[in-house]
Amino acid sequence: MCTATNYTAKDHYFGRNLDLEFSYREAVTITPRNFPFPFRKVADMATHHAIIGMTTVADGYPLYYDATNEKGLSMAGLNFPDNADYKPETAGMDNVTPFEFIPWILGQFETVSEVREALKKLVLVDISFSAEFPLSPLHWIISDREESLTVESVKDGLRVYENPLGLLTNNPTFDIQMFNLNNYASISPSQPENHFSKKLHLDAYSRGLGGVGLPGDLSSMSRFVKAAFTAANSVSGESESEAISQFFHILGSVEQQRGCVEVGDRYEITIYSSCCNTDRGIYYYKTYENSQVTAVDLHQVDLDGNTLSSYPLVTGQQILAQN
């Protein structure tokens, strides 16, 4: 499972937790403007916006999990089991496979407004990358500094939702996730007033009582509520250090610890957490065993080149000895 969110201080930030029970050899990958993107059913892109994000590179092709382009448009695919439904090719439409969706969007568009228009002709078609990499059931969040969309291909067609939270987890569908927030209207970062009974004197015996009732389990619906509350009430200074620290704390509020979610004979964990400064093109990440923030800068490579630059994740714990 996964959680993706946005945060704005002086700059804008986009990122996610990847929660899985195994790794696909993830790497931060920069795709320069002249790397040729072949597509299965739509026109290839010989040139496009430069892109940075997390991938598995298979047969020289970057399969992006989450990414940001040089214009600040960002996108992430999150697990959507049993609900995702991909379609046959449809004449007169833009037939894009799910594994191509992120580069197809980020390669040519700069804003959510442009994407919203392009989605009117989109069909997500049922074509796998390969036998080794079959299609994953996904839905997507697409964001710029000002707004976000959620895109879900389900049995009754493509659904595009305005996403005022700039947040996404997994099941159920986005409309149900948003409706569920009505159950938490009384949650507050402030201390509660006594509305229980005028006959009783009730003490605010601890800080944080305004959050009583906020979910603490690791299910996707509960993570949506907890991350929404945390992100919506987050405050930081405007410095890069303060902003990215706050962003990782938002994701940390819903991270998964080994041993808490059984998946067969394995455990689901937060394999990595990412935070991209979309204004500067700097992609920060942490991994399950490496709490140090590592950065890859989009603008430190030749963006007019035609070859991928990939940086395998630093996964071992980095410890600073002070004496």
Q: Which helix (H) or strand (E) holds 188?
A: none
Catalytic site positions: 2
How far CA 144 is from CA of 6, 64, 67, 112, 167, in Å, comes to: 9, 18, 12, 6, 12
Angle made by CA atoms 226, 229, 235, in degrees to the nearest 5: 125
> Taking Cα atoms as reference points, which of 19, 26, 110, 95 lies closest to residue 63?
26
pLDDT for res 1: 79
174 phi and psi angles, rounded to 5 deg = -60, -35
Strand, coil or helix: what is 133? coil
203 vs 21: CA distance, rounded Å: 43
Contact 84, 137 (CB under 8 A): yes
Query: What does pTM read for this prediction?
Result: 0.96
pLDDT for res 62: 97
166 vs 164: CA distance, rounded Å: 6
322 phi and psi angles, rounded to 5 deg = -95, -10
The β-bridge relationship of strands 122-124 and 94-96 is parallel
**Per-residue pLDDT tens digits of the chain, which is 323 residues long:** 799 999 999 999 999 999 999 888 899 999 999 999 999 999 999 999 999 999 999 999 999 999 999 999 999 999 999 999 999 999 999 999 999 999 999 999 999 999 999 999 999 999 999 999 999 999 999 999 999 999 999 999 999 999 999 999 999 999 999 999 999 999 999 999 999 999 999 999 999 999 999 999 999 999 999 999 999 999 999 999 999 999 999 999 999 999 999 999 999 999 999 999 999 999 999 999 999 999 999 999 999 999 999 999 999 999 999 99
Sign of the dihedral defined by the CA atoms of residues 245, 281, 10, 241, in that order: positive
pLDDT for res 208: 95
pLDDT for res 189: 94
